[in-house]
Structure formats: C-alpha cells, structure tokens
Chains A and B, each alone.
Chain A
Amino acid sequence: MKILLVAEHHQGQLRPATRHAVTAARQLGEQIDAVIAGADLSAVAAELATLAGINRVLQLDTAAQISPEQLAPALVNLAADYDVILAAAGTLSRDVLPRVAALLDVNMLPDLIRIESADTFVRPTYAGNVQARVQSLDARRVLSIRAPAFAATGTQAAAPIETRSFAADASQPHSSWLAEVQPHSDRPELTNARVVVSGGRALGSAEGFDTLLHPLASKLNAAIGASRAAVDEGFAPNEAQVGQTGVVVAPELYIAIGISGAVQHLAGMKDSGIVVAINSDPDAPIFQHADYSLVGDLFSVVPELTARL
C-alpha cells in the first residue's frame, strides 16, 4: 500500500492538521510520501520531512498561489505510483482532491473519522447524526480525514526531500488569486486550540463578544468560536463558525455560551474532550451534550468566571 499524503501550508507554516493526516496514513500503510506544492517551501518541506512516518517529501516548486485547476493534473501524474491519495480535510483538500478523484475516475471519500482497513472507512453524514461505514471499490482511493479524529504524529530524523520543478500549464483554464483576508490574531488557531470559548446569539452584539468572551478566552489561552446565528448577526467573523458548515473542532475543553445546541452546531464540537454549557434555559438542548451544565445568565456568569480564573 503506497500512500501519497498531500500536505497543506499557509503563510509559510505547515498546517497542523497535516500531522494528524500522517497518523491516518500510517494506519493504512508504511510507505508514505508527502507532497507539498507552492513557492519558498524549503522551511515547510524540512518540517514535513521530520513528521514521523514520512519516507520522502516531494517538493513541487510552483508559483506562490497555484490554482486548484493547475495543481490537480500534477497530483494526478504523481498518483500513478500510489494506491491512496490522502489529505487532512481543509481548504486545499476541498479545492483540489475532488478534481484529482474525478480525473482519476474514482469517487472521493471525504472527512473520514476512522480507518477500519485499507478499503473500509467511517465518515459522518447528516450533520454528524449518522456514522456511515463505507467500503471503497475503487482501485485507487482519494480520501480526506478530519484532523480531530486522529492524533498528531510525532517527529523523526528528517526524511529525504526531492525537489521537482513544476511548470503550470497556462492553457489550462484556471482561477487566479487576487486577495486574501486572514484576520491576524494572537490567539491559537481555532482548529488546533486546546480550549475553545464559543458564543451564540445570546451574546447580543459584537461588543458582547469583545467584552465578555475575549477576556475569558485570554485567561484560558483559548480560540474564539461562534454559532451560525452569532456569525449571521455580525457578532463574530465567518471563520469563527463552528458546526456542520463551519469548522469542526475537538479541543480538550469547549465552553458553549448562550448557544442552544442545534444539531448543526453539535456537528462541529461534540467530540470535544470536556464540554461546558452556560445557558439561561434549563431545557436548552446543549445541556444534553455537556459534561458540565451551568444554568444562568451569561452576562453575570461569564464575568464571574473570568474574574475567578
């Protein structure tokens, strides 16, 4: 079983989720090559080479913002030597891997949470209310895994790095990158934080997030999350949304504040280690999924919690 792991980097950093994807790859087999594409890759490629389990790093030197349309055929060329193409679920895998799969004439199985054997996997469906066991019948398998469902791999002595030049096919119809907004934050990355403090509609305003959630998150060195209602109301930025259509997190501690606990929200956090819910409604559904439930008004509970920590 030969595995090609597609590594993701962003702003000069290897995405932490890649470490989790290596663990998933190791459950499939021993022969794992990692491919990374982009410009100025030497530092990230070197880091990638030290992830325990990687045999070889293929470094594709491309333009800084290579389009998914141009990257996909390059991965398809590499794929000939592999049985499995695998990545952590994320922007890159969502853009590129379905294209790779279609060009290989195989189906893609995204967001796996368990690997049972070389061809049998478990993935969540219906907003995480169902877990489906699926057996791939394709000779070559294109997969993505959910990082929180697999531990991060350790480190090793660096594996060899092979640099390959890559000439993007300009005649390939493709999108071009114009700009990106990535709000800078001193907080840990949401998908990788040990603690997540999430707020819902009940916070009432962006100031509610600023004055109540941010101080608590600072004390806990936590990332800030939000329900879709809070994002739609403009209290929190889009990228903070946790849930079926936002990010999936599984921190050691998740604190849901003024969030009702809709299934779409639960889909993004219910595998967290410890869940604390703070809600004024004793019958709020979130309490059925919380380890510790505190019934109360968040406007008094949260400042008290922050003060006592």
Chain B
Amino acid sequence: MKILVAVKRVVDANVKVRLKADGSDVDVGAAKMSMNPFDENAVEAAVRLKEAGQASEIVAVSVGPAGAQDTLRHALAMGADRAILIDSGDVAIDALSSAKLLRQVAEREQPQLILLGKQAIDEDAAVVGPMLAALLNRPQAVAASQITVESADTLTVVREIEGGQQTVRVPLPAVVTADLRLNEPRYVKLPNLMQARKKPIETLTPEALGVTLSAHHRLLGVNEPPARAAGQRVNSVEELINRLRADTRVLP
C-alpha cells in the first residue's frame, strides 16, 4: 500500500500570533514555524503502517512557500521516503485550491491511502480532507483515532464524532484525516534529520500541475477577539456563591 501524507507548515502551536499593525492579516514574519500537529499524527500513522509491513512507500506532500521544505524534511526524518513541495510562493492559498493541488499529486502518485490532518491550526478549517476526497471521488473517514488495515482493500477506522466515537469500514483507495488521539508522534533525533537530508524533495509548481488558482474569498482584515472585562478575586466559597447568586439564575 502506497501512502500519500499531506503536511502543512503553520505557526508553532506554542506561539501567540501577532497581528500586523494595519490589521490586514496576522504577522507570521518571524514566528517559529512547525508541522501542523495533526499532520504529525498523520505521518506517524503512515510510518507505523510501514513499520508493520502494511505500507510500501510513504510520500509526503506540502503546498506552501519554499520554507515548507523544512516541514517536508521533518516528515522525511519521521520516516517518509520522499517528498513533494508544491511551491505556491508567498500567496495565501485557500482550502479548495490546496485540495485541487493535492488532487493533481494524488492523480500522479495513485496512492491507496491519503492521510491528512483533521484540521490545520492556523485557519482551523478542517475541510481540505473531505474536499480532496470529493474531488477524487473517494471514500473518507474524518477525525480518525484508530486505523486498522483489515485487508488489502479495506480499512476499519474509529473516528471522533460529537458526543462519542463511530466505527466505519472504508474501502481503499481512501482519504483519512487524523485526530490528535490517533497516536503519539515520535520525536525526531539528529541522526534521523541527517538521514532525511539524503532523501529527495521534488519541487512542483501549480502551473506544472495544470492548476490555475483563482481567489474564492478575500480577507478584509483581522482583529483580536474582544477582551473579557477584568474579573474579580473571591476569597471564599461563600463569597463565590453569593456573587453567582447575584449574577445568574442557574444556581439551585
């Protein structure tokens, strides 16, 4: 089974993003960038399938600026065999356009399984996986917390849904998106990174893939959410209850 894993370069989860002074967009300028955490789960799942002898090759793919090479190196260091950068320059790419670019790569690579993260923590959209599945007319399993290979052409996937878990059977080829609970991504050690340097990263452009990107929406501006009014310290449980009784009707 050949696996394609889509990885996105995003502002590191521990960084608090700043806004540009003119409010036009977030300022990612000097921020530390990392692989989207959910995509680490996706890569980890792919590598474990390969280690278990259930996957033959893992190809990592990223759509982004040249800097996304670092993200692909990380995927290679985790265990991907080769990588493809779709260099979209510095323009922001919307979800549909990303899905269309990924579709072209999938058409070329013909993977049995495409793994993505459930959501990218910059836009928090959680749409590219099912969009890609629809464009390829493939079945999907969104927010997987467990993936089991049942046979050469079927997976069983446990997925996180509102209020619980659901188990689905998914015929291959398919698209699966990873929840954080899927696994614990491995740490990359220096020797892994050294080895990853020898693995190939191919660079493609949207034009080379025959995709013309068109804008589907315009970002008019960004702001911080309104801050909550400063709260108060209460010194005892009794004081807390008195305040809550004064403020709300929800106490018994």
Contact = CB atoms under 8 A, between A and B. Distances in A.
Given A274-B244, A305-B237, A173 B138 contact: yes
A107 B95 contact: yes
Contact of B126 (A94, A291, A308): A94
A74 interface: no
A194 B250 contact: yes
B125 A110 contact: yes
Nearest to A11: B163
- Central interface residue in A172, A175, A263, by most chain B CB within 10 Å: A175
A133 B220 contact: yes
A134 B231 contact: no
Contacts of A270: 225, 228
A63 to B, nearest CB: 14
B231 to A, nearest CB: 4
Contacts of B233: 293-295
A215 B129 CA distance: 41
Contact of A108 (B17, B131, B163, B235): B131
Contacts of B139: 67, 69, 173-175
Contacts of A77: none
A309 B251 contact: yes
A273 interface: yes
Interface in B15-42: 16-17, 19, 26
B44 interface: no
A275 B232 CA distance: 11
Contact of A138 (B181, B216, B232): B216
Contacts of B160: 238-239
Contact of B252 (A98, A304, A309): A309
Interface range on chain B (Cβ under 8 Å from partner): 35 or more
Contacts of B216: 106-107, 136-138
Contacts of B237: 294, 301, 304-305, 308
B41 to A, nearest CB: 11
A265 to B, nearest CB: 13
A176 B238 contact: no
Interface stretch (A21-29, A38-46, A48-56, A123-131): A123-131
A180 interface: yes
B244 A292 contact: yes
B68 interface: no
Interface in B96-134: 96, 99, 118-119, 121-134
Contacts of B223: 130-131, 133
Nearest to B156: A178
Interface in B128-148: 128-135, 137-143, 145
Interface in B195-230: 215-225, 228-229
B244 A276 contact: yes
Given A103-B134, A130-B222, A289-B228, 8 more contacts: A10-B162, A94-B126, A101-B131, A134-B218, A137-B218, A177-B168, A180-B161, A304-B237
22 contacts: A69-B140, A98-B129, A101-B96, A102-B99, A107-B216, A108-B125, A130-B19, A131-B222, A131-B223, A134-B218, A177-B166, A180-B164, A221-B252, A270-B228, A273-B248, A275-B231, A289-B228, A290-B231, A291-B229, A291-B231, A305-B241, A309-B252
Interface of A: 10, 67-69, 72, 90-91, 94-103, 105-111, 120, 124-138, 172-183, 189-191, 194-195, 219-221, 228, 232, 238-239, 244-245, 247, 252-253, 263-264, 270, 273-276, 287-295, 301, 304-305, 308-309
